Structure 1
Amino acid sequence: MALDHDNPFATPSTLPFALPPFDRIRAEHFRPAFDAGVAEQRAEIEAIVGQDEAATFANTVEPLERSGALLDRTMRVFHELANSMATPAMQELEAVLVPEWSAHRDALLLDQRLFARVDAVRAQADGLTEEQRRVVERHHTDFVRAGAALPAGQQERLRQLNDEISRATTTFGSTLLAATNASALHVTDRDELDGLSEGAVQSAALAAKERGLDGYVLTLSSPTIQPLISSLRDRDLRRRLHEASTTRGMRGGEHDTRALVARIAALRAERAGLLGYPDHAAYVVADQTAGSTDAVVSMLDAMAAPAMANLERERVAIEAALHADGVEGPVQPWDWAYYAAKVKAAEYDVDTDELRPYFSLDRVLRDGVFLAAQRLYGLTFAERDDLPGYAPDVRTYEVRDGEGPDVPVLGLFVCDWFARPTKRGGAWMDEFVTQSRLLAQHPVVVVCLNVPKPAPGQPALMTVDEVRTAFHEFGHALHGLFSDVTYPRLAGTGVPRDFVEFPSQVNEMWAWDPEVLAGYARHHATGEPLPQEVADRLIASGAAGMGFDTVSMLGAALLDHEWHRLAPGADPVPAEDVEAFERAALERHGVASDLVPPRYRTGYFAHAFTNGYDAGYYSYLWSEVLDADMVGWFEENGGLRRANGDRFRADLLSRGGSVDPIAAFASIRGRRPSTEPLLRRRGLLG
């Protein structure tokens, strides 16, 4: 199938590093590019399996790695824009293309002829390099886990399940976006916003204007606890905002996701049974560093009791602050963040809301995120405002491996910071182009946040959590930018899901490094640095609220796991019983709290039901074990030193999936990871 030469996907982009030509890409280009890409890859696979020669790495695995170039560049752009520019046209396309893309992958991974050739190459792997053996093993595992070894009849049912799951998860994503937009609070009385900074008020006014409304709109961020609650003095508005957040997708009507959740969980359970696993969680974890659901649940359950004990100590302090404010009765969920901020301010003499003027987005990026990368890895960044972006305010930077015009360029870093109605909640990193020596490709990575857009002419001022998130997501970006492998299947973040969060969590440490903090924490109007004593108290205050944070994270991880431990063939959970299932799951593991809901409740748990973290949300805590231990290594070796960065880059970040991830960790740390640093960080050692 020939693709019209005017289609921007028809040929590789001629922009630097094959950055997609966003100024030319329209929604109508994706359908023909997808069809042509599928046809092209099918022909390439037929050429591989139609050979008379015996299978070798050179005539089977290498051309498999090269296949699908048109489809890959089309769908990488499509998936990112479906998340960040989810217009009605893109949502309509997504509902059709994602299931078709899933069916195409099924056709490839269930092709017995191709599987037989990959299996034959695996049997003669002794003559291959370590990276070649890794990529063969990875492909072989992909085939087996996709069902290539199943009988034909079961394969057909597997195809049906994959199609149904793909359609249901896509619908969940679009329904959740609509539910989140519909749940935004419209406020007409300025007095109700007492406690918010002027910048936050202006952002709320801009959000209302964009929706054609008078007054103010408080939009919802992805997690349960909305950042504005910590500042709002109006208790009833806090309650309304909390309830709007925690009931998303569970109110009935067109934006209700409960039936979708139950269906997705049941379909995944049936698929796991077909593939020989007791449940979907076991299927997922078998291919991760954790290895088994027992290992996951054991780690999470061990943290539950001490975390709940910490939470109770925090509750006593927070309720005392509530009563000192003249409010009678017990603390309520919508009070927690507000009075926790008061307790922290009293204990550490730090009001995080008052610190926002010191965290302007531009300075955080330039003199914080980029400065840390320069000190640690020698990177330099040059903005390329001559290159097109896919939305207003999207910025692109050229990332150089050193200073001066002659140093090599690693690739491009694209950043999309601001929230908008067509952008799904949360923060993420993705790749428009993956690094590969085989394909002579340099990485083009993108990071998306959801910082409220400021009023025209005003700076974007970030919360402490948004600053941390910026460093976190840039850690993912570094994983992609530093990739130095031959085969695209192993590039960058192509590692087990419960390892992929590790480098990003390590990168968070530099947000609070004294040298880095001194660079970016400056008042946006005066340029005055954040006073050192305030910076010291801010860093010390990071230990506050660990009971709440740990219980919230455990709740989400265990809830995700329980949804995916349903047995194949079990009756789906009725939509009206979803909340009861949720409560029972949390109680079973000892983390049920009326005051602290999970970081994500079922109705809006995008990680678990559309974003590819199904049965894998535990990976944030699992990776934090590695993170806390590796932070200790950096501290023991002098912290923000170029030698430390070079070692971390060479032995781990650049290797992607070409080496065993735990072995890469141990090569730096000198041993396997220990849980003690994490337990100490979270106050769980007693």
Structure 2
Amino acid sequence: MGDTNPLLQNFSTPHQTAPFDRITEEDFMPAFEKALEEGRSEIKAIINNPGEPTFENTIEAMEKSGKLLDRISSVFFNLNLAETNEKIQSIAREVSPMLSEYSNDIWLNEKLFERVKQVYNQHENNSQLNVEQKKLLDDTYKAFARRGASLSGSEKERYREISSKLSQLSLQFGENVLAETNDFKLHITNKDDLAGLPGDVLDAAAQRAKSDNKEGWIFTLQIPSYLPFMKYADNRDLRETMFRAFTSRGNKGNKRDNNEIIKKTVALRSERSKLLGFKNHAEYVLTERMAKTPDKVNSFLNELLEAALPFAQKDVKDVETFAKKEGFKGTLQRWDFAYYSEKLKTESFNISDEMTKPYFQLEKVKDGIFDLTNQLYGLSYKRNKEIPVYNKEVEAYEVYDNDGSFLSVLYLDFFPRDSKQGGAWMTSYLEQHKKNGKDVRPHISVVTNFTRPTSTKPSLLTYNEVNTFLHEFGHALHGMLSNVTYESMAGTSVYRDFVELPSQIMENWAQQKDWLQKVAKHYKTGEPIPGELVDKIIAAGNFQSGYATVRQLSFGMNDMAWHTIEKPVSKQVSEFENEAMQATELFPDVDGSCMSTAFGHIFDGGYAAGYYGYKWAEVLDADAFDLFKKNGIFDKETAQKFRDNILSKGGTKDPMDLYVSFRGQEPSIEPLLERSGLK
């Protein structure tokens, strides 16, 4: 690669990591064009190979094609999420249809599909293939069928149009939500309006105002600013202002409105699934999931709703009763719930985020998670400042295995920025795979939006943020401990309703006294967290779990409703959503609020017809953690079993087979109901 474009050269960085310090926005478009050209010629060579189609010259050759494009795409689209700007966003809009077209040129190519079919039908030859090779063959054949290879000419053209439009709509949806989130600022100059807000929340708001060259305090819709405001601000009118701003993102009838984008997206997904012979998008998606069918998902959601709803109704009643006791008059609204719920929690358990935060210093929690993975899997971490990063706040680590061998690069990016989407996620810049007999180790990234340090305090986490960190680190372990041959099966490349098992199981340690007392040290004194405070954290673990469960189920039901439509939706998005979530409603409707118009998981992420997967995986993780509880929460043997059967295997086998090989049985729903206090 003689080009001066850093994206097209061999990366001469530690572990061939992305040379972020050398890449400019101008490099992306020419790099994409070159990579698309290279990918096309690799596919052409497979199609024109004069030899008989074999596993090696067709299936494996396809798996190895387009690697330059994969590399550039992962750098670019990860930056578009974590460090974007207008230039990057405009490149994304330009390049997305090009990538759709490239992908369609592969999956809709009749000659290529013919070769794949020939290999697929060679039963005698296929008996020599190992488990991973058979899975790759099966996956490749299915991918063609699922992406329109069997369609006729005009249907193929329509399929192409739909794919291209969907990729553009998804980008536009995400851009709109980010812009709407950044657009709103609550600027407060009157100190009286700050009553109830804790010191560190005020420090962060004052710092935000200062960085905007303003007097006073600024609160935003970024989660570390929004959530504490809703929990602690005594000023009810301002809580309502914040709530309405947050829940109306993408639903204001302005140029960033997402209503039409949603209707077009679900209509196109529905049309595409029909083209491919499915009744609806959910049916299309779920054939490649543990759940298998929409009926199975809906009955799963309803079974949990039946168990949780009475508890949720009692949770809301308890908060209403408490609020009235506190002198509240009128109807409890959604912007009152978090506020009074937090006060009730403080009174019931004598615990609040403000009491626990001083013990959860981000640095110490990070060390605690590193230490936990060392105890379980023998991993060690070494920061390497020579590894280039895309923002000076990002930390890069080398991760080593228990035998001292290099395992992975790990990027950690903790704090909110205007250039970064909200939420928390794990992603990869390079997936683990074997190349010419060499094990290529992955480059994994964890991105969060935790409270920033201020001039007076380090970053202190809420207990909820500790859980988030553990969760995303579980995904990271799935990526880092991968040990497979093919990139397309590495790490988190598994069924969507299985992918949350490795992440959610990690959250269980936050409920264990032995771990919490190791991690939680006061940021000023270094004193470990008092035992009685840990007891309170654990006792409060199920506080309002009925409410939290029903809220999560409402999102899953909304997702399933959008993706089981069989004709375009004519009613308003908010009306459709209200009907979908009716069975879970616990509050009066709020005019102008709409969850769907900012529901990035399903309209700008991979969770369409898959949001139920969080709850599905909770059944798995509660059942799996039962084994740790039985054998000891730091038991190396159980951890090794989890690593060998689940974390290292990626998508090489059916998830239920992997689960049973770890657990010795299929999962039961009982441990989840018990853990959540829903029995």
Would the alpha carbon gap of residues 75 and 442 (structure 1) be closer, same or farther in structure 2, given more than 3 Å must change?
same
The alignment partner of 1:447 has SS state of strand
Would the alpha carbon gap of residues 596 and 221 (structure 1) be closer, same or farther in structure 2, given more than 3 Å must change?
farther
CA shift, 1:233, in A, is 2.1
Would the alpha carbon gap of residues 118 and 53 (structure 1) be closer, same or farther in structure 2, given more than 3 Å must change?
same
CA shift, 1:65, in A, is 1.6
Deviations 1:31-83 (A, max 9, x none): 01101001001100111111111111111122212111211110000110000
CA distance in 1, matches of 2:85, 2:426: 20
Q: Is residue 501 of structure 2 the alignment partner of residue 502 of structure 1?
A: yes
Q: Is residue 650 of structure 2 the alignment partner of residue 656 of structure 1?
A: yes
CA distance in 1, matches of 2:588, 2:460: 29
CA distance in 1, matches of 2:632, 2:502: 18
Report the counterpart of residue 61 of structure 2 in structure 1: 63
Letter in 2 for 1:82: N
The alignment partner of 2:581 has SS state of helix
Deviations 1:213-254 (A, max 9, x none): 432222224699834312222222222221111111112212
CA shift, 1:356, in A, is 0.9
Would the alpha carbon gap of residues 316 and 571 (structure 1) be closer, same or farther in structure 2, given more than 3 Å must change?
closer
Q: Is residue 471 of structure 2 the alignment partner of residue 476 of structure 1?
A: no
Which sections of structure 2, spanning at least 5 residues, go unmatched?
Answer: none
Deviations 1:539-588 (A, max 9, x none): 12111111210111011111011011111xx24335xx11111111112x
Deviations 1:598-618 (A, max 9, x none): x98111000010112111111
Report the counterpart of residue 574 of structure 2 in structure 1: 579
Pairing 1:521-532 to 2, within 5 Å after superposition: 521-532=520-531
Deviations 1:400-444 (A, max 9, x none): 1127xxx10101110100000110111101000100013642111
The alignment partner of 1:451 has SS state of coil
Q: Is residue 670 of structure 2 the alignment partner of residue 676 of structure 1?
A: yes
The alignment partner of 1:204 has SS state of helix
Letter in 1 for 2:25: A
Report the counterpart of residue 388 of structure 1 in structure 2: 388
Report the counterpart of residue 617 of structure 1 in structure 2: 611
The alignment partner of 2:408 has SS state of strand
CA distance in 2, matches of 1:213, 1:563: 43
Q: Is residue 239 of structure 2 the alignment partner of residue 246 of structure 1?
A: no
CA shift, 1:104, in A, is 1.0
- 8 Å CA contact 1:369–1:511 kept in 2: the answer is no
- 8 Å CA contact 2:239–2:335 kept in 1: the answer is yes
Pairing 1:257-336 to 2, within 5 Å after superposition: 257-336=258-337
Q: Is residue 432 of structure 2 the alignment partner of residue 431 of structure 1?
A: no
Report the counterpart of residue 158 of structure 2 in structure 1: 157
Letter in 1 for 2:120: R
Would the alpha carbon gap of residues 93 and 410 (structure 1) be closer, same or farther in structure 2, given more than 3 Å must change?
same
CA shift, 1:190, in A, is 3.2
Pairing 1:101-250 to 2, within 5 Å after superposition: 101-124=99-122, 125-221=126-222, 226-250=227-251
CA distance in 2, matches of 1:177, 1:333: 23
Letter in 2 for 1:376: L
The alignment partner of 2:207 has SS state of helix
CA distance in 1, matches of 2:544, 2:51: 63
Report the counterpart of residue 357 of structure 1 in structure 2: 358
- 8 Å CA contact 1:556–1:600 kept in 2: the answer is no
CA distance in 2, matches of 1:296, 1:571: 22
CA distance in 1, matches of 2:660, 2:225: 36
Report the counterpart of residue 562 of structure 1 in structure 2: 561
Deviations 1:101-160 (A, max 9, x none): 122111111112222222222223222001100111111111111111111210110000
Letter in 1 for 2:449: N
CA shift, 1:199, in A, is 1.9
CA distance in 1, matches of 2:425, 2:142: 26
CA distance in 2, matches of 1:272, 1:386: 47
CA distance in 2, matches of 1:297, 1:38: 41
TM-score with structure 1 setting the length: 0.95
CA distance in 2, matches of 1:416, 1:77: 15
- 8 Å CA contact 1:414–1:447 kept in 2: the answer is yes
Letter in 1 for 2:575: A
- 8 Å CA contact 1:147–1:275 kept in 2: the answer is yes
Pairing 1:8-19 to 2, within 5 Å after superposition: 8-19=6-17
- 8 Å CA contact 2:478–2:491 kept in 1: the answer is yes
Letter in 1 for 2:486: Y
Deviations 1:323-347 (A, max 9, x none): 2222222322111112111222222
Pairing 1:339-350 to 2, within 5 Å after superposition: 339-350=340-351
CA distance in 2, matches of 1:546, 1:596: 22
CA distance in 1, matches of 2:181, 2:262: 16
- 8 Å CA contact 1:582–1:602 kept in 2: the answer is yes
CA shift, 1:17, in A, is 2.4
- 8 Å CA contact 2:11–2:19 kept in 1: the answer is yes
The alignment partner of 2:585 has SS state of coil
Letter in 2 for 1:157: R
Pairing 1:369-448 to 2, within 5 Å after superposition: 369-402=369-402, 407-438=404-435, 440=438, 441-448=440-447
Q: 1:605 aligns with which of 591, 599, 605?
A: 599
- 8 Å CA contact 1:417–1:449 kept in 2: the answer is yes
Letter in 1 for 2:6: P
Report the counterpart of residue 460 of structure 1 in structure 2: 459
- 8 Å CA contact 1:18–1:433 kept in 2: the answer is no
- 8 Å CA contact 1:371–1:516 kept in 2: the answer is no
Would the alpha carbon gap of residues 641 and 328 (structure 1) be closer, same or farther in structure 2, given more than 3 Å must change?
same
Letter in 2 for 1:71: L
- 8 Å CA contact 2:342–2:352 kept in 1: the answer is yes
Q: Is residue 27 of structure 2 the alignment partner of residue 29 of structure 1?
A: yes
Letter in 1 for 2:463: V
Deviations 1:3-44 (A, max 9, x none): 762111112312222210110011111101101001001100
Would the alpha carbon gap of residues 223 and 578 (structure 1) be closer, same or farther in structure 2, given more than 3 Å must change?
farther
Answer with 466-475 or 674-683: which moved more.
Answer: 674-683
CA distance in 2, matches of 1:167, 1:645: 42
CA distance in 2, matches of 1:515, 1:137: 45
Report the counterpart of residue 517 of structure 2 in structure 1: 518
Report the counterpart of residue 486 of structure 2 in structure 1: 487
- 8 Å CA contact 1:401–1:409 kept in 2: the answer is yes
CA shift, 1:663, in A, is 0.6
CA shift, 1:379, in A, is 0.6
Q: 1:78 aligns with which of 71, 76, 81?
A: 76
Letter in 1 for 2:23: I
CA shift, 1:260, in A, is 0.9
CA shift, 1:291, in A, is 0.3
Letter in 1 for 2:373: A
CA distance in 1, matches of 2:308, 2:514: 32
CA distance in 1, matches of 2:673, 2:507: 18
Would the alpha carbon gap of residues 211 and 163 (structure 1) be closer, same or farther in structure 2, given more than 3 Å must change?
farther
- 8 Å CA contact 2:316–2:586 kept in 1: the answer is no
- 8 Å CA contact 1:257–1:603 kept in 2: the answer is yes
The alignment partner of 2:407 has SS state of strand
Deviations 1:511-543 (A, max 9, x none): 333232122211111111110111011012111
TM-score with structure 2 setting the length: 0.96
Give the fraction of aligned pairs with identical amino acids, expressed as a percent. Answer: 37
Deviations 1:343-386 (A, max 9, x none): 222222211222111111111101x2111101111111111122
Letter in 1 for 2:441: H
CA distance in 1, matches of 2:136, 2:229: 46
The alignment partner of 1:392 has SS state of coil
Answer with 446-455 or 392-401: which moved more.
Answer: 446-455
- Aligned residue pair count: 673
The alignment partner of 2:411 has SS state of strand
Letter in 2 for 1:478: L
Pairing 1:515-554 to 2, within 5 Å after superposition: 515-554=514-553
Would the alpha carbon gap of residues 602 and 223 (structure 1) be closer, same or farther in structure 2, given more than 3 Å must change?
farther
